[in-house]
Structure 1
Amino acid sequence: MSSYHQIFIQTSNSEDQLVADIVAAAGCRMRKLETMDAPIAYTGRTRRVAVEVKLNHDLEDDLGTNFSQYPIVITLRSLDSDKSHEEGVAKEIFNNLVSGGQYAMILTFNLYNVLAEQPPTEKRQST
């Protein structure tokens, strides 16, 4: 089984807003896959890395990582099998999404190696 970098996302944003933010964060165009039974909803490429977006997954919570709280997953795959480059692109996309301040996320490698986390932000009530 291959190991990839993945960003798991929790959001209340619309699908269109999410995809627009991923496009901006990755610096790539995304193509919607029209096949109803395809697990990947959107695909794109940036700097020789495939960017694949699934709007849901069936991973269970494991080893202290609550995957069920982050239903959206972006899988990044180096087209040259260059894991160092893949990690750099993954971290850049993650950090770009963090700077937008709208997403709770986990960046992993091989699912079980958590490289970075952006916890959910609590919405503050006006007083």
Structure 2
Amino acid sequence: MLSKPAKTLVIGGNIWYLGEGMLGPLFAVFAERVGGDVLDISWAWAAYLFATGAAMMVASRVADARKSQARMMMCGYALNAACTFGYLFVSSPLHLLIVQLGLGIANALATPTWNALYARFEDRQHECTTWGL
């Protein structure tokens, strides 16, 4: 039912979300450890969401114009890995904010390009099942 490229995208996407899901519950504990409080966590999360939204509009236009969806998606995954590794060097709420901005940009590079590639390789006869995976 799934083509090989679609299967690869599903596996890669699941690994991405597994990693994000494992980090999420530890985020508040980590932010408190570097001297942050609830307000700092809120600012860091808002920065992540803002960076994702603003960069996603730009990244999706660039990906369409240059037809470089696969490269941009891989750059997003690589930047996500680098920024996640950056958590090891966070020692203040400002550092946390910078890492969150980087993760937002990484998400903006990877998400729309993943969706475009998946739509290109989906099984047209089983669209709901394909997107339900």
Q: Which protein has greater RCO, CA pairs closer than 8 Å, 6+ apart?
A: 2
TM-score normalized by the length of structure 1: 0.28
Select the structure that is richer in strand. 1
TM-score normalized by the length of structure 2: 0.27
